[in-house]
Structure 1
Amino acid sequence: MTQTRPLGAQISHMLKDRGVDVIFGIPGVHNQEMYRGIEEAGITHVLARHEQGAGFMADGYARATGKPGVAYVITGPGLTNIMTPMGQAYSDSVPMLVISSCLDETASTNGQLHQMKDQRAAAETVCDWSEEARTAQAAYALIDRALMEFDTRRARPKHVQVPIHLLEADAAAPPPVANQELAGDMKRDELAVSRIVDVLKSAQKPVMVLGGGATTGASLYPKLAEAVGAAVFTSYAGRGIMPPRHPLYFGASLARPESARVLNSADLVLVVGCELAEVDMWRAELGSDAPVIRLDIDPVVLATHQRTQDRVILGEAYEIMRAVLDDAAGHVPATGWKPEDIAQTRDHWRAEVDAERPGIVPVCDALRDCLPDGTMIYSDMTQFAYTAKEVWDMDRPGYWHHPTGFGTLGYATPAAIGGAVARKGKPTMAIIGDYGFHYTMQELGVAVELGLPLPIILWDNGKLKEIEESMVRAQIAPNAIVARNPDFCKLAEAFGANAAAPKTLSEMQTTVRTAFDADGPTLIYLTPEISQTT
């Protein structure tokens, strides 16, 4: 006999059956039925201090595991509070499933607790889709739809809302997990493969631009670059695809103005899994007059920056590019790129970054050199991260996560908590600025509660310095850029966290190493003055 339970409990059991082990959220009177089944289903729940924190934790968990991050929130303000993380996940192609309660009726009744004019429509502005389940079967179908789309399409957040009375009502068990071989269903486009191979083999000075969509099967790209003699740029999301200081690698340097000149010297540009968005290049166009081939899973991306002479290929990058490498094997590589010229250009661009934000590069170098192997990093909107993304080479992809695109402050601390929950026993670290820390500092309590050995690098330059410099460039007298900060170390200690304020780079390195072995989070307070010491 099929077991019946309140639908709220059935949803948790369904998620567990489909591989969900952790849910982030905050219970309330409107979604308490969703909490009835969590412990019984064997799911770990992480109690955030704010729904924004819950969303960023789900984001960080998803980026660390590749599995969807799931969050439970209440009607109205719970949903609006998590919309910022949903918008960030949408920008960065992160699989996140937000399940909320909603009021049973709003058209003829006013003044209800947490009432909104149109909650479903509000959520839809920051996610792939937002739907209301009006039956138990609809709730199950929408959840399965979301999970299937995470596996088969560009991953982006989804929202399902369920009326309160439906969550409380008994429902039959959800359908069993479908037996599907989704990964094997992706067909290889042989025509696309042959086109790419033909132009790569005929090019004398090819360039590959690799984005976050190329991180699956990343090891094939260095081999392909060597096989055809292609120089390589990566986006920030593509860092780690190419080994550090590979002789054909220009780095994550698309944002360098001079990269347009380098790209324009190529006779072919192959763009794989990269949007070529403003936040990738900080200019309107790639800058190359050479023929461009773009390979992406998203047709919207392929329609952007398109020129009549370009070729666009809709498909899954790994399957196609693996075949390209197979066909290119044994080809005599082009010799249009000289490794010594690439190395010299990279050194020149590194010096530019150091001159633009003085003193940060040495701190980046010292911090990188003291991290244990396999450290996963979550960064925030701060000058430290802006610098690091250009000069800090990664030895593997998918290990540095940044709020690109939507560009929200306060991301790093809760996202790193989500990552640390996913990576028990593995090193995880957050990098955040003083102002961004204010946005989600309360989530430090979650890291303490869970006993996470999480170093949080807090870079305090005493102001919104990036905004100050932008105002100066725009000939605006800088104002509203300085906020009074607390004593961050005492604040961390008040939460029960460890805290340290190293004065030298060597002391910083010792502190960071110790933090990875601590019994809870450690806030490591740094100021620009540390770069002047050793």
Structure 2
Amino acid sequence: MTTVGEALVKSLEARGVRVVFGIPGVHTVELYRGLAGSSIRHVTPRHEQGAGFMADGYARVSGQPGVAFVITGPGLTNTLTPMGQARADSVPMLVLSGVNRRDTLGKGLGHLHELPDQRGMTALVALSSERVEDPTTLSPALDRAFAGFATGRPGPRHIEVPTDVMGLAAATAAPQPVPEPLLPAAGTIAEAAARLAGAKTPLILVGGGALKAEAALRALAEALDAPVVQTVNARGLMHRHPLTVPASPSLEPVRDLIRGADTVLAIGTELGPTDYDMYGRGGLPWPKGLIRVEVDAAQLARHPADLALHGHAEAVLPALVAALPDGTATGGAARAETARKGALAALDDTTRAGIAVLNAVRDTLPGSIFVGDSTQAIYAGNLYYDHDRPGGWFNAATGFGALGYAIPAAIGAALADPRAPVICLVGDGGAQFTLPELMTAVDENLPIAFLIWNNHAYGEIAASMDAVGVSVIGCHPTPPDFKAVAQSCRMLFRRVEMSPESVAEALRDLRSAGGPVMIEIDAGG
């Protein structure tokens, strides 16, 4: 007999799942039946929040949904924060949880891990939340989840299995074919191409929704001679290209570039304030002649455009390129260079020093994946940084903004691409949210360099309080002895001053270790 738990594992295999993150519990034992004999690798975090963040990092690098197995009740509530981050950043995540027996649900009988309405609670964060009421509903629930990842805006989805259903007999069904990427009607493509071809100062705003379309983006930008302004989640696209503007559209010189455009093509970006108005100055200078390429119809409705192209960037951009006439010069490279120089000049010395460290790390380990938390160096890079790998720069300092993200997300990233060096850049404060997950990196022997930016404080919060005349309180939790932490985790360790040369030298010295290493950067404080 094949049980629901075994059918679940086989169904995940059939849908291409290769790694799951989870902590088994008495309410998920039957979901683990068959896992040991499968091709799926199980990775054990130290906390369910870690499981969710690992699934997030895995999804961003692999391009496939990250999968977490969690218990009912506290296991699922611990995963809600990662689900919130995944929703904000459009990351495909499948959370599979247990739930109590069907005959007990919603009755308040005091069962272990009981919640009044677990699915209802999760549905407020996830894009969808379903319950497998009987064995016949398992495959359809999985089909709907994976179809949702492929057709709409990606994000977290949840499926729960009652404990009395997990062990029932189940048949496995072949997955339904995943729908093809969405493409607007040919007439809409032609209209967009005509508007873009007629522009005198075209501009492209690009978000994380374009990460799968770098070649077509490059061809489109070159055909239009249009500068390409990158949001945080788009960094790594068109590295060092003369049309690239790897700077925040919140910076005034980049806003000037937007104001000067007569036609703006926004691709896979929600135009949200954490990218476009991080200083709270009154919103984006709304683009003229706005054309949007967006997979989410609801998102298109939130910011109406002159022309909306509802579809996936990887399908829409090649069609646009094919519909464009031969390109004409619009001074795009000069406009991009003016914006780049102006953006750098607008930053203070501390921010530029952080960018210099990032550049040194990138050049020391080309093609690395940088995973970050809300810390000063990450804030600096989000303002201005040109990464050399599409999708290789991501962090939790925008969108939902969850501290504790970097360490577990870096683990997920390293599992998704074992060949790439992974740089985890986290502050001393943020590191303490998920410090135990270091042992997961040790267990899996992952090539991650954990860079601890230690300023002995929640430095940005302290500065914000001081700037508005609020007495600084609660911003200086004592950091641990990171050398002792590294030694207890059996990691190589180096403490360095905050300079590009010192950090690069430490990386060169430690990179041959093969497994995880820790570098503590003395950032003052």
**TM-score tier after normalising by the smaller chain length:** over 0.9
Verify: 1:442 aligned to 2:436, yes or no.
yes
How far apart are residue 506 of structure 1 and its match?
2.9
In structure 1, how many angstroms separate the alpha carbons of the residues matched to 2:415 and 2:523? 31
SS of corresponding position for 2:223: helix
In structure 2, how many angstroms separate the alpha carbons of the residues matched to 1:400 and 1:277? 18
Task: Give the equivalent residue in structure 1 for 2:344.
Answer: 350
Root-mean-square deviation (CA, aligned residues, Å) is: 2.0
Task: Give the equivalent residue in structure 2 for 1:389.
Answer: 382
Equivalence map 1:12-411=2 (5 Å):
12-104=9-101, 105-169=104-168, 171-178=169-176, 180=177, 182-183=179-180, 186-244=182-240, 246-282=241-277, 283=280, 284-288=282-286, 290-306=288-304, 310-335=306-331, 337=332, 339-340=333-334, 342-355=336-349, 357=351, 359-371=353-365, 373-403=366-396, 404-411=398-405
Identity of aligned residues (%): 36
Of 408, 411, 434 in structure 2, the residue corresponding to residue 414 of structure 1 is 408
Aligned residues of 2:20 and 2:43 also touching (Cα < 8 A)? yes
Letter in 2 for 1:437: A
SS of corresponding position for 2:37: helix
Of 410, 415, 424 in structure 2, the residue corresponding to residue 430 of structure 1 is 424
Letter in 2 for 1:111: G
Aligned residues of 2:269 and 2:294 also touching (Cα < 8 A)? yes
In structure 1, how many angstroms separate the alpha carbons of the residues matched to 2:447 and 2:300? 42
Aligned residues of 1:285 and 1:305 also touching (Cα < 8 A)? no
Aligned residues of 2:151 and 2:295 also touching (Cα < 8 A)? no
Aligned residues of 2:98 and 2:162 also touching (Cα < 8 A)? yes
In structure 1, how many angstroms separate the alpha carbons of the residues matched to 2:47 and 2:121? 19
Aligned residues of 1:454 and 1:516 also touching (Cα < 8 A)? no
How far apart are residue 402 of structure 1 and its match?
1.3
How far apart are residue 223 of structure 1 and its match?
2.4
In structure 2, how many angstroms separate the alpha carbons of the residues matched to 1:304 and 1:355? 37
How far apart are residue 215 of structure 1 and its match?
1.8
SS of corresponding position for 2:205: strand
Aligned residues of 1:497 and 1:523 also touching (Cα < 8 A)? yes
Task: Give the equivalent residue in structure 2 for 1:466.
Answer: 460
Aligned residues of 1:225 and 1:248 also touching (Cα < 8 A)? yes
In structure 2, how many angstroms separate the alpha carbons of the residues matched to 1:212 and 1:387? 19
Q: Unpaired segments of 5 or more residues in structure 1?
A: none
Letter in 1 for 2:147: M
Q: Compared with structure 1, are the counterparts of its residues 190 and 333 closer, same or farther at alpha carbon in structure 2 (3 Å cutoff)? A: farther
How far apart are residue 200 of structure 1 and its match?
1.2
Task: Give the equivalent residue in structure 1 for 2:483.
Answer: 489
In structure 1, how many angstroms separate the alpha carbons of the residues matched to 2:142 and 2:228? 39
**How many pairs are equivalent?**
518
Task: Give the equivalent residue in structure 1 for 2:508.
Answer: 513
In structure 2, how many angstroms separate the alpha carbons of the residues matched to 1:472 and 1:213? 37
How far apart are residue 433 of structure 1 and its match?
0.8
SS of corresponding position for 2:42: strand
CA deviation map 1:265-320 (0-9, x unaligned): 1111111111100111125533046221112111222122336xx22222222222
Letter in 2 for 1:266: A
Q: Unpaired segments of 5 or more residues in structure 2?
A: none
Question: Could you tell which deviates more after superposition, 12-21 or 443-452?
Answer: 12-21
CA deviation map 1:171-230 (0-9, x unaligned): 13211233x3633x6445211211111111111111111111122221222322222222
SS of corresponding position for 1:520: coil
The TM-score normalised by the length of structure 1 is 0.92
Q: Compared with structure 1, are the counterparts of its residues 117 and 70 closer, same or farther at alpha carbon in structure 2 (3 Å cutoff)? A: same
CA deviation map 1:414-445 (0-9, x unaligned): 11111111222322221111111001000001
SS of corresponding position for 2:36: helix
Q: Compared with structure 1, are the counterparts of its residues 154 and 107 closer, same or farther at alpha carbon in structure 2 (3 Å cutoff)? A: closer
SS of corresponding position for 1:78: helix
How far apart are residue 168 of structure 1 and its match?
2.3
SS of corresponding position for 2:115: coil
In structure 1, how many angstroms separate the alpha carbons of the residues matched to 2:222 and 2:418? 37
